[in-house]
Amino acid sequence: MKSTNQELSLKQCKHLGLKLIENFCSDGLTSGFGWNNWEWEREQLSSYIEISKKLEGTPFINNFLLILGDTKGGIWFALPLLRSRFVHLLSELEKAILKDAKVSVKNVDVISSVFSVFVAANFIPNTLLATFDIICSSTNHEVYVVFNVPLEAYSVEMAGERRCDACRTSIVRCSIAERGKRCSIREMVLLVGQRHISDAKISFAKLVNICYESENQ
């Protein structure tokens, strides 16, 4: 295998990704390549938590995901693992007892791990890269709301089951498609914010400003 600072071939990525999925995902739902909205994914939560805990207890698993992320299109072959970690994290934020408490160090570590793969794989639009700094100083519920932005964006683009497409490197770069319409990431931020209007505090204001500044550059 090539060193970690070199890209694998897509054939190697496919082999590694499918082996990881085979090892961690035990059923057709959790091993599928679709990405749905939070309400649907929540129904599989117990399975996702089980997978996520196995991943957390496995040495170097994030290194494997980063290796796949460094190869153009490679992370798509391990999408079910990334989705499991993301959904588990979102559930932890949603059920936090102290909604207005700052996000815990433990969750910041998990967010950092997930974010590092997102960034390596160009999996989120550049507009959202600055959200990590916002998240580190936000409350549990603010982070939950902010994290609904990429989740909603992915679910629109990847609604239902879809075969892994190794040629695509980003789900949402500048815009996403919804029923034939084009929707900018700033508009997606605002849509999610409207659904959580009472919780759209300083973190969301910062995120919206970032989106506006990005589009006006």
Q: What is the pLDDT of residues 76-105, one digit of tens each?
A: 788 888 888 888 888 888 888 888 888 888
Q: Is the pTM of this model over 0.75?
A: no
Q: Tell me: the pLDDT tens digits for 41-80?
A: 788 889 899 999 999 888 888 888 888 888 777 887 888 8
Higher pLDDT, 197 or 124: 124
Higher pLDDT, 217 or 9: 9
Higher pLDDT, 151 or 159: 151
Rounded Cα–Cα distance for residues 74 and 13 (Å): 5
Q: What local confidence, expressed as pLDDT, does residue 44 receive?
A: 85
Of 42-51, 63-72, 120-129, 130-139, which one has max mean pLDDT? 42-51
Tell me the DSSP string of 79-94.
Answer: HHHHHHHHHHHHHHHH
Domain ranges of the chain: 10-216
What does pLDDT average to over the chain? 70
Residue 213: pLDDT band (50, 70, 90) is low
Distance of CA 117 to the CA centre of its chain: 9
Q: What local confidence, expressed as pLDDT, does residue 82 receive?
A: 84
Query: 180 — alpha (psi -120 to 50), left (phi > 0) or beta?
Result: left
Higher pLDDT, 29 or 53: 53
Higher pLDDT, 211 or 90: 90
Looking at the chain, the whole-number percentage of residues with pLDDT higher than 70 is 58
Tell me the DSSP string of 16-57.
Answer: HHHHHHHHH--STTTT------HHHHHTTHHHHHHHHHHHHT
Q: What local confidence, expressed as pLDDT, does residue 76 receive?
A: 79
Q: What local confidence, expressed as pLDDT, does residue 171 receive?
A: 38
Rounded Cα–Cα distance for residues 152 and 191 (Å): 10
Instruction: Check: CB of residue 122 under 8 Å from CB of residue 167.
Output: no
Instruction: Check: CB of residue 199 under 8 Å from CB of residue 141.
Output: yes
- Helices vs strands, H then E, count in the chain: 10, 2
Q: Tell me: the pLDDT tens digits for 159-195?
A: 433 434 433 433 333 333 333 344 455 565 566 555 5
Q: What local confidence, expressed as pLDDT, does residue 152 receive?
A: 63
- As a whole number, mean pLDDT of residues 96-115 equals 84
